Chains A and B, each alone.
Chain A
Amino acid sequence: MKTLLPPEFKIIRDEAKCIKCQVCVRQCGFEVHTYDEEEDVVLSNNAKCVACSRCVKFCPTSALNVIKNPLSYRENTNWRQEVIHDIIKQAETGGVILTGMGNDKPYPIYWDHLVLNASQVTNPPIDPLREPMELRTYLGSKPDQLVIKGKHVKTKIPPQVPIETPILFSAMSYGSISLNAQLALARAASEFGTLWNTGEGGLHKELYKYGSTTIVQVASGRFGVHPDYLYAARVLEIKIGQGAKPGIGGHLPGEKVSSPVSRTRMIPKGTDALSPAPHHDIYSIEDLAQLVYALKEATNYQKPVCVKIAAVHNSAAIASGIARAGADIIALDGLRGGTGAAPKIIRDNVGIPIELAIASVDTRLRQEGIRNRVSLIAAGGFRSSADVIKAIALGADAVYIATAALVAMGCHLCQKCYTGICNWGIATQDPYLSKRLNPDLATQRLINLLRGWSLEIKEMLGGMGINAIESLRGNRLHLRAVGLTQAEMDVLGVRQAGA
């Protein structure tokens, strides 16, 4: 069938600058660029271009640029170009449209409607450059009270995991991203004193040495889950859902299950790795408790157990159930959370914004008097240190970042992760492509990002007259709303600015 889909992007090559070095040809895994030896000319196929910018950034003479294809349909607010193209795609294939990364639709971003406080006169701002400014946070379940005899604490305290900045790397599995990418995440987390997350693809044997800063995931497919894997970790995470695709499972196609992926996931090479939508041992909350305690027993109660859910309508009630089921940590993944592959229709329409979920979960757990029992990690589209600090003021203990970490490593958000081709060497298992990601440089870039954000968080905290992050956690008085409705402010527990 002849496709009626026009190219999404257009490559502009400045022929005067092009020296026909063919860097673009070699750099593009989507085979956009070809060299015609006879004519001595480099040709580009617009239809294959995904706008990943690899060729643009690597062209030694800056001869290339990629723009949105200026093709215009008759203006129509309802039937936008994307809508028309999706219909064409489905008419031609009869399939579910896949995509990668997070929701890109214009839902309100509440972070941009929340502003922070600063001290003026009645208490002093604190200068973080000279005075101590503490970001350390302990993740884990806390008792309501300590019994102390002399200098000794008699109360048994569940395992507590320190992080030196309230930013963790969120789950990205080996399979969905390359080993080099995971290596960089693991190293950056270890060096900075925070945690990274294996995702559901198991833990490659080369990464076991980073176990003390690793969160290992136990997901519905149980890939690579075995006693050594559990014991290697600092935190165990039961993945119930993901913000990009609440309520559905996953599917790593057999062609991406290379030998090392097969070894790590503990499945035969070349077979599809299917993650069911539910855990088939969890059809109700009491079953979740069963799995939580199965993991605790398996690791002799040495590791906190986190339960990750997608932020959905009933998150507050679900979170209460999770806390009561014995989890030590709850991770909430919001509407804008990313993914390696998800049906576009799900990614763009299911779930709720993380801001609202944090607020309602924190409020509910406090109303029930059980907020101390769990730490709260928020995830889903955190773009800057400002988003992070606002999440903490709303009530999160820490946040997960993944998209931002990928961008730090080189990702340009082309949303083609599900193809297995990634010109930046991140979301691919192709050895030719994955070696492009230098783990040393990627580690440094991640550390730089954590450092920059942490310094900014310290600056903002100091301005509020606070020198320890815990004094901002859940302290919504330091937030004000601009441009929100009363209903939104009520959910967020935040007052109108100026009021």
Chain B
Amino acid sequence: MNRVFKLNNPYNDDKVISACSIFGMIDQSGRCFSGECVTTAIANMQVRSNGLGGGFAVYGLYPEHADHYAFHIMFLDKKAQEETANFLTENFLLTHAEKIPTRKTAGIVDPPIIWRYFLKVNSKPRIELEGLSEDDYVVAKVMEINTKIDGAFVFSSGKNMGVFKGVGYPEDISHYFRLDEYKGYLWTAHGRFPTNTQGWWGGAHPFSILDWTVVHNGEISSYGINQRYLEMFGYRCTMQTDTEVMAYAVDLLMRKHGLPIEIVADIFAAPLWSELEHMEKTEKDLRIKLRQIYSSLLINGPFTVIIAHQGEMIGLTDRIRLRPLTAGVKGDMLYLSSEEAAIRLICPDLEKAWIPRGGEPIVGRLYQKEKKELSHRKKERG
């Protein structure tokens, strides 16, 4: 077994449980801003975490490499790194590689080697399996590195975005990775309260595949079946965290099955059968069918998640809202947070703050993307 999974789950628990604080903000006009605000906000919820995990996802991060898959990889030793570098050059066009710059930080001990690699999928003929898209190819290679190369773990693999995470309070992680020096239009953040272990760097949130990231608060009681369902579609849930399952479920439903978030929300947080009784027929039929087909992806138990991908940030809670989420808006900025106080701290004069209903997705999109989507939908209807 790969050492990183042992590190993540040393006691071989069913799943690694962690409670936490989550935060996210998107400037829907696309203006990029530094990681300072988001760090202040997540740090304000320190009591919800215990210093054993913090992390951030940033979108619009690498405009100069926007067409490259940016892999962030942690290594337990040089050997793992060499092996991985070889694997990458064999399977990709490697444009650029560098150590991710860090700062000495008091709260950060024993960090792994962390590098980033900017990659392109060579050319169509190199794609081994017939019908595999570039994205599918990348997913397969990430799964391969994570399961086959001992001591290597790809924790970020999207384009023009990146995940930074590790063991420590999120503000320490932010300081360590110098996040005040990066800019993005969308940031999510997580402070972790794991129950099992000293924590290891890969076990922190966000969890990510391609440019999908998930930060999550809660414990998913349906984990066992969600995992087994996803395994039928080729996902390997080797990290044994329920958040990883969410990331793969989002990838399957949104990227591969092409379902919009409003539909996915109805799968993850399906309305109760009794609620359907009072819906209009089209709405009801749709939800019955969703639940018939995707019942194994009902996410049961308490959760709040912030899911992000290129140009979009989504907040969602479980259907009976057992975990908190507050949303706030000011101008082009949408904020999502476990606690309202964290938003108020960085934006005291919100135009609006509200507590979304359980299972109701709160979506922030780049206006650019919104426009594209609208015209696409119009075309579909036409």
Contacts and interface: CB of A to CB of B under 8 A. Distances in A.
Interface of A: 119, 122-124, 126, 131-132, 134, 136, 138, 140, 142-153, 155, 157, 160, 366, 369, 371-372, 464-468, 470-478, 495, 499
Contacts of A142: 292-293
B296 A474 contact: yes
A122 B282 contact: no
Interface in B71-128: none
A366 B232 contact: yes
Given A148-B259, A151-B286, A465-B300, A475 B232 contact: no
Interface string B129-145: 00000000000000000
16 contacts: A123-B302, A124-B322, A138-B292, A144-B233, A146-B289, A146-B290, A146-B294, A152-B286, A153-B285, A153-B286, A371-B232, A465-B219, A466-B300, A468-B295, A471-B298, A473-B296
A143 B233 CA distance: 13
Interface in B182-197: 195
Interface in B202-256: 218-219, 221-225, 228-229, 231-233
B15 A477 contact: yes
- The secondary structure that dominates the A interface is loop
Given A138-B292, A366-B231, A470-B298, A475 B320 contact: no
Interface of B: 12, 14-15, 17, 19, 195, 218-219, 221-225, 228-229, 231-233, 257-259, 263, 270, 272-274, 282-283, 285-286, 289-296, 298, 300-302, 320, 322, 377, 380-381
A58 B286 CA distance: 55
B292 A477 contact: no
Contact of B225 (A126, A138, A148, A472): A472
B298 A151 contact: no
A288 B258 CA distance: 36
B292 A471 contact: no
A475 B225 contact: yes
Nearest to A473: B225
Given A157-B292, A366-B232, A466 B301 contact: yes
Contacts of A464: 221
B286 A471 contact: no
A217 to B, nearest CB: 25
A39 to B, nearest CB: 67
Contacts of B219: 122-123, 465
A495 B195 CA distance: 20
A145 B300 CA distance: 20
B285 A466 contact: no
A153 B380 CA distance: 14
Nearest to B300: A471
A466 B320 CA distance: 11
A166 to B, nearest CB: 12
B285 A146 contact: no
A478 B258 CA distance: 32
Give the residue among A140, A144, A468, A471 with the most B Cβ atoms within 10 A.
A471
